[in-house]
Structure 1
Amino acid sequence: MEITSATYTTHAKAIILGEHSIVYRGSAIVAPVPVLAITVTATINSSTAPSYDFDGSAISRDQIANYYPGIDEALNSFPLPEGLSLSLTIRSTIPESRGLGSSAASANSAVRAIYRAIKNLTYFSEGIRLQRPHLSDLDTIVARCEDRVHGRASGLDQCGVTADCTCLFTSDRNGLPPMITTLPNLNAYLVVADTGIIKNTKASVAAIKRRISAKDPQVYSAIETLSSISDSLKDRWTHNHLEEIGASMNRAQEILSSLSLSLPELDRLISLLRENGALGAKLSGGGCGGICIGLFRDIDKADAAVEGIQKHECQAWRISI
């Protein structure tokens, strides 16, 4: 029997600049993608076995542990007393493993939906009140969920899926937590295009790390340049220098491609974005699949780019930034 339930929705994100280099130091720019989101409903039942519904399909707890470890970690973080069970219903429009932050978004929605459901619950057992984490602990739990997925997450995805606007994310601050700075609206548009190819961020990051460990001079130089590009973009963004931002995106794509992180499918979509008027276009996220992005000043050109990409049987979305 259902006792209480709660729902939480988290949107997707897209990294504009700074992927890979942010793992080591410097800054990255990340934008929310509100047209894509994941909603989790947490239901607390009595005398009922837990159930898990992902987009209309029943899945087991073992399947959650194997395929959605962030959600599994969220479930582990909220133990319930005997006699109560926790069920989840998950609805998502975020393509998985594409660089859109699906793992961070699902973990954030699961953690906050479960927290709200428990907060709604007044339960006493032999005079002991049900324990629940404090609201201030939730970000830490989500970070732990992300570490479960990625090994050691930078926090950039978590920032992007919870932000209301574009943010500058700065790490490597002598052991201090990352600094997050909100950036002004550019009155411009970002087109997000999906190759449909599943990518593995953890594997891509590990491949770059191996080359750095082997003291590969090309990778050292590439990471330094990517960091410099991201670090220098704050002033250009603040002063709405769209052409310079676009040029920085194009330069970043050249470097990421030189690290074997692009693919012909990504290159094709990036070319389509530029042909349709993008000031700059590049892959976004771990690379080797997933998404690419294009920056547009004009909404009509952005919409034309979306239409052109969809004609090539790929998904695309336009957002304001």
Structure 2
Amino acid sequence: MQTQGIASAKFILCGEHSVVYGEPAISFPFKQARIITTLKEIEGSEHQLISDFYTGTLSQAPEKLTAVKALIPHILKRYQCHSVLEITIDSSVPVGRGLGSSAVVATSITRAMLAFLKRPVISSNVLPFVNFSEDIAHGNPSGVDAITVVNEQAVWFEKEKGLQSLSLNLTLPIVVADTGIPSETRASVAAVRDLYQKNNIEVSACISQLGEISREIGKEITTHGDLHTVGDLFNQAHQLLRKLSVSSPEIENLITCALDNQALGAKLTGGGRGGCVIVLCKDKQHAQKMATQLSAAGAIKTWISMIGE
């Protein structure tokens, strides 16, 4: 028997880093990039993993796949299954770009395994396993990646209050542009924490302002529906994230390109210091032109996402 699990990426619209300190974040599914996991039972004594990153026995997979190495036997043990599996992972989600790759692969694997085990492939069954994997991958994640990827819907998330789904009142023409530089979320979060400890008053003010920006963006996209206001808020958020030391020359290069080409707003998304930027455009035609300009400026890949369409 062969089963599959599919999961799409996500991106954070606003609230990076400040969400760790209890402020809200808004996150969206990003269906232009996804992972498909295919499982089948095989002969032998060791699970086999096939992927672009590594192919071989699961037990010998490199350190970057520690969460995957732990997740698969964890699920099998939970359901008292002793099958030996071949796990094939086909991914179009770039790793370390702030698009939730670790949550996506965990969700894809979990869905495939639940189908293999003939268990209901529903969010309430999938999420605990994805959280287990994310804890291994990131130490103390906010939880927003797992929730967005598993639930496949726009999410308003606050660490102490949980999540609520968002219903948009407008379409957001977004270009996601990859700098080509991996973003180490754990290192970025630690850097902000160090900055917070050294300069508590100034950093606390930045974090509070980022929280207020998330609230304003939430109002705009669900009620007022003014793209220019959302774009201005993007720009304000990026200036604050720059103060928190999580931008990079590659990010700034793409931000400058976007604003020079009449973007309504542009900011980093995810942990920063690499990864991706998101650019708010006027409409789909503008987004298509923007993608071309960003590629010419050095983005190694671009995607267009018409959020809310």
TM-score norm. by structure 1 comes to 0.87
Q: Pairwise CA RMSD of aligned residues? A: 2.2
SS in 1 for 2:214: helix
SS in 1 for 2:117: helix
Q: Which has the higher helix share?
A: 2
- Corresponding residue number in structure 2 for 1:257: 242
1:245 matches 2:230: yes
Question: Which of 52, 57, 62 matches 1:55?
Answer: 52
Question: Which of 205, 209, 212 matches 2:189?
Answer: 205
Unpaired runs of 5+ residues, structure 2, are none
Please tell me whether the aligned partners of residues 36 and 91 of structure 2 are also in contact (alpha carbons under 8 angstroms).
yes
**Cα deviations across residues 6-25 of structure 1 (Å, max 9, x unaligned)?**
10111111111000000111
**Cα deviations across residues 229-258 of structure 1 (Å, max 9, x unaligned)?**
112322211121211111111000000011
The amino acid of 2:28's aligned partner reads A
Please tell me whether the aligned partners of residues 39 and 91 of structure 1 are also in contact (alpha carbons under 8 angstroms).
yes
The amino acid of 1:192's aligned partner reads V
**Cα deviations across residues 45-87 of structure 1 (Å, max 9, x unaligned)?**
3446421100385233245361122322321212366863022
- Corresponding residue number in structure 1 for 2:96: 97
Unpaired runs of 5+ residues, structure 1, are 121-131
The amino acid of 2:91's aligned partner reads S
Please tell me whether the aligned partners of residues 31 and 160 of structure 1 are also in contact (alpha carbons under 8 angstroms).
yes
Closer, same or farther: CA 280–206 of 1 in aligned 2, 3 Å: same
Please show how residues 278-317 of structure 1 align to structure 2 within 5 Å.
278-314=263-299, 315-317=301-303
Q: Percent identity?
A: 32
TM-score norm. by structure 2 comes to 0.91
C-alpha distance in 2 between matches for 1:134 and 1:281 = 35
- Corresponding residue number in structure 2 for 1:154: 142
Please tell me whether the aligned partners of residues 266 and 278 of structure 2 are also in contact (alpha carbons under 8 angstroms).
yes
C-alpha distance in 2 between matches for 1:245 and 1:7 = 38
C-alpha distance in 1 between matches for 2:193 and 2:253 = 27
Closer, same or farther: CA 84–188 of 1 in aligned 2, 3 Å: closer
- Corresponding residue number in structure 1 for 2:304: 318
1:28 positional shift: 0.7
- Corresponding residue number in structure 2 for 1:123: none
Q: Alignment length, in residue pairs?
A: 303
Closer, same or farther: CA 246–82 of 1 in aligned 2, 3 Å: closer
Comparing 211-220 with 107-116, greater Cα deviation is found at 211-220
- Corresponding residue number in structure 1 for 2:29: 32
Closer, same or farther: CA 235–185 of 1 in aligned 2, 3 Å: closer
Closer, same or farther: CA 153–41 of 1 in aligned 2, 3 Å: same
Closer, same or farther: CA 54–230 of 1 in aligned 2, 3 Å: same
1:38 positional shift: 0.8
C-alpha distance in 1 between matches for 2:53 and 2:194 = 40
